[in-house]
Amino acid sequence: MSRINVGIVGYGNSAKVYNLPYLLPHPEYQVYAFLQRSAAPSDLASAKPGSHCTVDFPQAKHYRTSDEFFADANIKLVIVCTQFDTHAEFAEKALNANKHVLVEKPFTTSSKEADKLIALAKEKGKILTVYQSKVLPVIASYDGLLTLAKIDRRWDGDFLTLEHILDKGALGTVTEAEIHYDFENPPWVSSMAAKGYTPGDGNMFGLGSHTIDQALVLFGRPKSVIGIMTVLRGIESETEDSFTLILQYDSPLLVTVKTTIVTPMVNQPKYLIRGTKGSYLKFGTDVQEDQILSGIQSTSAEFGIGDSTDDGILTTYDEFDGTYQTYNSKAKKFSGKYPTLPGRNRGYYENLADVLRGRSDLKVQPQQSRDGIRLMELARESYLTGKTVLWS
């Protein structure tokens, strides 16, 4: 069976640091072409690794114009790893050229753009999905391949663990959930210098893309949204760097999604989930990103496995996997650290290959990403009006 020819739009950190390490191990993908507008170095042998696609992938085709790139009939999957305000433009070109498309986060800058792309993908009979890995201004050693998709950190170990606990019913009916993605003094905040606001700007479209997606995956669309936007980076601006979203449902469920950038803590909070039969409390972040930056390959046996000291605390009246928990006979309650499942970001690309081969259904649907964008729009409307906004 021939390999899936991948064409990559853009060659920045998104591709090199947060996609390639997870795509590389999969034997069914082949890096076939790049769209990178800058000219190739005159002397490839002396060029710095990571400086240009031709340096790192000399066997791949290099296109400098989008017309030539999208006209190449051999490209089957296009991965869009460009600036966020060009995502919709390149995704539309790829679909019109009858390519399957993976788009870096955020999917688009408006739900209207997302609706247009979803309709076009349906019309063309092509796969459309979105990849929302966190991108920081760093370069790491890598060896690999590039793509565009949406994962919204669904293959993080702590999220996989939370899904497992909920699927097993250990918490009963969830009544309250807090989902955090805080970041202590991020170095990239200095680039957020604009005083105005443009759709796609701000940390809701950044770190919030991950946590908002997780909330929608776990609990679905809310009945209403309250958005609170703040600026903690020391300037006057309409573009938030920190936010709190309160999602209200028809049931007693209340979900809070929160990010703040100034939080000097030993360990950042991640999840607090309460239910009628138990609770789950988790601090810390997934280890896969740090492992990649430290040079550990995603194929290594230790990859995705974190320190057990960061395991979350599960308390439940259910004897769910009680072998590793402490039993309180008086209260008939199990409580203790619940082992975090290994993270596996490669799972996204494994699923995508299965979909392209007709072996499986797509786990990350574009409509989910579209709903995330819509929730952000409603949250900003709530912030600007000072009112609770119904989902519409």
Per-residue pLDDT reduced to its tens digit, 221-271? 999 999 999 999 999 999 999 999 999 999 999 999 999 998 888 888 999
User: What domains appear along the chain, each with residue ranges and CATH number?
Assistant: 4-151+347-361 (3.40.50.720), 157-285+306-341+375-390 (3.30.360.10)
Whole-angstrom distance, CA of residue 14 vs CA of residue 20: 9
pTM summary value: 0.85
Q: Distance from first CA to last CA of the chain, Å, rounded?
A: 45
Helices (H) and strands (E) in the chain, counts: 11, 16
| Confidence (pLDDT) at 324 | 61
| Confidence (pLDDT) at 112 | 96
How far, in whole angstroms, is CA 106 from its chain's centroid?
9
Beta bridge partners of 246: 226, 256
* Residues 342/347/348/350 CA torsion (nearest 10 deg): 170
Band (322; pLDDT cuts 50, 70, 90)? low
Whole-angstrom CA distances from 238 to 206, 229, 230, 262 are 15, 9, 9, 18
Residues 6+ apart with CB under 8 A from 368: 150, 213, 216, 217
Residue 31 clears pLDDT 90, i.e. is over it: yes
pLDDT digits 0-9 by tens, 102-113: 998 889 999 999
Whole-angstrom distance, CA of residue 292 vs CA of residue 279: 31
| Confidence (pLDDT) at 138 | 29
> Do 262 and 232 contact (CB within 8 A), yes or no?
yes
> Do 117 and 144 contact (CB within 8 A), yes or no?
no
Residue 8 clears pLDDT 50, i.e. is over it: yes
Q: Nearest 5°: CA angle at 146, between 342 and 74?
A: 130
Whole-angstrom distance, CA of residue 147 vs CA of residue 75: 12
| Confidence (pLDDT) at 292 | 66
**DSSP state at residue 198:** -
Q: What percent of the chain has pLDDT over 90?
A: 62
| SS3 category, 97 | coil
> In the Cβ-directed half-sphere of 268, how many Cα atoms lie within 13 Å?
18
Whole-angstrom distance, CA of residue 9 vs CA of residue 90: 8
**DSSP state at residue 246:** E
> Do 78 and 52 contact (CB within 8 A), yes or no?
no
| SS3 category, 217 | helix
Mean pLDDT of 106-124: 96
> Do 257 and 208 contact (CB within 8 A), yes or no?
yes
